[in-house]
């Protein structure tokens, strides 16, 4: 007969004493159900051998699992409930406590390293990539992966927090002097809460920076009284937070701006594949407050397009007894009141995001830093690739470097000032480098986009370089380049030969006004000059280097050839013929040919000379 069976046959007064031996630390149900197994183990040896005691504990839990399976088949609900509770209790209490706390400490330490040495570093890197993408750089990604990591880490820390709370419940039932749980639990709980606070604060990010829908490729430039959009995301995605977080939008009062529209919105799980917890503001618009009496308005040192403003968002998260205040801000934005200010405002956005990683440096233009020429040329190529679908090659970039700095032996490490880029006029011109470049971008976007994307426009080439390129080519070879003297103009130059003399001919630049009336490809097709024998001829034969004109531009022609509208005059025998030729309408040409000799006509036309 087992010892336990003998104990049960004792008199009642002794059974009451036995009952006092058992409590939650080792419930009587375990002694009863596992009597035979318990009595067959060498507990005395295990009491002096920790590895053996650990093995016995694991075996005890296995035996308890087997009993749980047995009673589950018998559908004894009360006993099933008690056994599950007992097993959980034994697993916590019978494990060595320095071991339980060590494991928790290890999890907390690993979470700390993961958050500070990996997650937050990767988040900073993502934010920098977002800055670069906003000014036309490579597309940024990785937010979904960050969300998964933030969420898993938050879930792990909340699990540790719950386990620490369970230990607190055990302390109310049993403790002793020097109990490590009593001594270490408060510190561990403080560390877990601190990690969760920082994790939540870092997880509140601007997923899409403020942008007017009318100018999607010019984010962070906002026009007064025009709505803009901005999207925020909480990288800790927990179902309990759906529709529970309300976000409020505000703007700094640096220059008397207020935000009109819906200021407060709730975050919710969107319907994308990853289902982020986000909110998008679509109906905010900045409004400038009227100056008070006697106020002179903005008296700062910057122009309006150099003033930086910040749009902030704040909210509060309450979850599992933890309350955290969250706040984040957009990258600096520029406020404009007229679309004509957009180019210079965009230049400010470019310069800031190229050179600053501090998202709150609103005084950046008090003393703007210089950029290396290589930095600037890269970002200029981004403008063309993002805005008009094709970046700039090394030869085109070299021409821009020369435009900015003049001819240099080497441009390596050359420092370029903000004023040189955007405020000082180009030599001999009435406009800045950036205004000139922005006008070309606008011309391409609105009038010659397909030709630019397919690479048929050389664009950035000086007059000197174009002559070097064309000199040895077949007569009728031409190239297309942007005007250096007219804003938003494009011209073409072709080469011919007369009595073994190479000659170059250019036309007055076509700007958006002239290109609105007729597509540029049709102009190239129908372009004519009048030779000395009054025979009209199209001198454009081959696009540089040797592409037949119709092969290059045929797919862009939009109408039937026009035989009369593009007549030009020049004397093919005159070695001093002007390099810029002006168009002549058929009616004007008819009048001239009726009343003047060809020589007089040519002389009259030659007197009208334009440099492109």
Chain segment 251-275, per-residue pLDDT in tens: 887 667 888 889 999 999 887 757 8
The C-alpha angle with vertex 40 and arms to 34 and 43, in degrees rounded to 5, equals 95
Q: Does residue 476 come out as left (phi exceeding 0), alpha (psi in the -120 to 50 range) or beta?
A: left
Write out the two tokens for 545. Answer: 């280097």
Average pLDDT over the chain, rounded to an integer: 82
Which among 26, 176, 2 is positioned nearest to 89, based on CA atoms?
Answer: 26
Banded model confidence at residue 171, pLDDT cuts 50, 70, 90: low
Model pLDDT for residues 33-68, shown as the tens digit of each residue:
788 888 888 878 877 876 677 677 777 777 888 888
How many CB atoms neighbour CB 376 within 10 A? 24
Residue that wins the pLDDT comparison between 66 and 193: 193
Q: Using CA atoms, how far apart are residues 65 and 88, in angstroms rounded to an integer?
A: 11
**Range ranked top by mean pLDDT from 169-183, 230-244, 264-278:** 230-244
Count of other CB atoms within 10 angstroms of residue 186: 11
| CA distances for 570 relative to 110, 355, 491, 540, angstroms | 81, 51, 17, 14
pLDDT at 91: 64
- Nearest residue to 230 via CA among 269, 286, 147, 275: 286
Does the pLDDT value for residue 321 go beyond 60? yes
Residue 539 · residue 494 · CB < 8 Å: yes
Name the least confident of 54-68, 129-143, 153-167, 490-504: 54-68
Say what the pLDDT of residue 502 is.
Answer: 87
CA gap 15, 230 in Å, rounded: 74
Q: Say what the pLDDT of residue 587 is.
A: 47
The two structure tokens encoding residue 515: 């290109």
Q: Residue length, the chain?
A: 612
pLDDT higher than 60, residue 391: yes
pLDDT at 279: 94
pLDDT of residue 17: 78
CA distance 64 to 83: 8
DSSP string, 47-71: TT-HHHHHHHHHHHHHHHHHHHHHH
Q: Does residue 9 surpass a pLDDT of 90? A: no
- Of all helices (H) and strands (E), which one includes residue 324? strand 322-329
Question: How many percent of the chain have pLDDT more than 70?
Answer: 82
Q: What is residue 612's predicted lDDT score, i.e. its pLDDT?
A: 33
Assign residue 275 a region (left: φ > 0; alpha: ψ between -120 and 50; beta: otherwise).
left
The residues pairing with 260 across neighbouring beta strands, listed in sequence order, are 285
Residue in 316, 311, 112, 320 with CA at minimum distance from that of residue 200: 316
What domains can be seen in the chain, in order of their start residue?
3-95 (1.10.532.10), 370-455 (1.10.238.10), 456-612 (3.30.505.10)
Residue 337 has pLDDT above 80, yes or no: yes
- β-partners of residue 315 are 326
Give yes or no for residue 584 having a pLDDT over 60.
no
**Euclidean distance between CA atoms 360 and 410, whole angstroms:** 36
């Amino acid at each position: 007969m087992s010892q336990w069976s003998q104990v049960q046959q004792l008199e009642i007064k002794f059974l009451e004493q036995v009952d006092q031996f058992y409590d939650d630390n080792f419930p009587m149900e375990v002694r009863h159900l596992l009597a035979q197994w318990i009595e067959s183990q060498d507990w005395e040896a295990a009491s002096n051998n920790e590895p053996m005691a650990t093995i016995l504990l694991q075996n005890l839990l296995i035996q308890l699992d087997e009993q749980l399976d047995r009673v589950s088949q018998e559908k004894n609900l009360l006993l099933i409930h008690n056994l599950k509770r007992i097993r959980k209790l034994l697993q916590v209490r019978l494990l060595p406590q320095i071991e339980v706390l060590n494991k928790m400490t290890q999890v907390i330490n690993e979470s700390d390293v993961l958050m500070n040495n990996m997650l937050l570093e990767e988040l900073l890197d993502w934010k920098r990539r977002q800055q670069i993408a906003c000014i036309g750089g490579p597309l940024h990604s990785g937010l979904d992966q960050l969300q998964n990591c933030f969420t898993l880490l938050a879930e792990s820390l909340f699990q540790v927090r719950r386990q620490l709370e369970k230990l607190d419940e055990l302390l109310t039932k049993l403790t002793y002097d020097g109990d490590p749980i009593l001594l270490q639990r408060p510190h561990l709980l403080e560390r877990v809460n601190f990690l969760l606070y920082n994790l939540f604060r870092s997880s509140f990010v601007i997923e899409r920076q403020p942008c007017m829908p009318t100018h999607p490729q010019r984010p962070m430039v906002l026009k007064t009284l025009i709505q803009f959009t901005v999207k925020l995301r909480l990288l800790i995605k927990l179902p309990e937070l759906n529709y529970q977080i309300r976000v409020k939008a505000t703007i700094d009062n640096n220059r008397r701006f207020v935000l009109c529209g819906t200021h407060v919105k709730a975050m919710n799980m969107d319907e994308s594949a990853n289902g982020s917890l986000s909110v998008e503001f679509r109906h905010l618009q900045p409004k400038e407050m009227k100056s008070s009496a006697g106020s002179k308005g903005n008296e700062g040192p910057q122009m309006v397009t150099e003033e930086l403003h910040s749009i902030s968002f704040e909210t509060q998260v309450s979850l599992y007894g933890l309350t955290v205040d969250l706040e984040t801000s957009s990258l600096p934005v520029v406020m404009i009141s007229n679309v004509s200010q957009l180019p210079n405002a965009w230049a400010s956005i470019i310069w800031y995001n190229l050179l600053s990683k501090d998202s709150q440096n609103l005084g950046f233009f008090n003393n703007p830093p210089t950029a290396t020429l290589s930095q600037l040329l890269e970002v200029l190529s981004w403008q063309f690739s993002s805005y008009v679908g094709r970046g700039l090659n090394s030869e085109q970039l070299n021409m821009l470097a020369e435009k900015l700095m003049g001819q240099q032996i080497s441009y390596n490490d050359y420092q370029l000032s903000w004023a040189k880029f955007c405020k000082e006029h180009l030599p001999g011109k009435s406009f800045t480098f950036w205004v000139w470049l922005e006008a070309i971008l606008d011309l391409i976007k609105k009038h010659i986009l397909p030709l630019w994307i397919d690479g048929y426009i050389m664009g950035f080439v000086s007059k000197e370089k174009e002559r070097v390129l064309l000199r040895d080519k077949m007569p009728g070879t031409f190239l297309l380049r942007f005007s250096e003297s007219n804003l938003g103009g494009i011209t073409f130059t072709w080469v011919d030969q007369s009595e073994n003399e190479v000659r170059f001919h250019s036309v007055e630049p076509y700007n958006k006004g002239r290109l609105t009336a007729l597509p540029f490809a049709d102009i190239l097709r129908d372009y004519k000059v009048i030779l000395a024998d009054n025979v009209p001829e199209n001198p454009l034969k081959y696009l540089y280097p040797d592409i037949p004109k119709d092969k290059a531009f045929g797919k862009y022609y939009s109408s039937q050839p026009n035989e009369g509208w593009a007549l030009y005059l020049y004397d093919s025998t005159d070695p001093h013929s002007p390099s810029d030729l002006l168009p002549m309408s058929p009616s004007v040409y008819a009048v001239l040919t009726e009343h003047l000799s060809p020589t007089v006509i040519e002389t009259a036309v030659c007197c009208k000379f334009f440099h492109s």
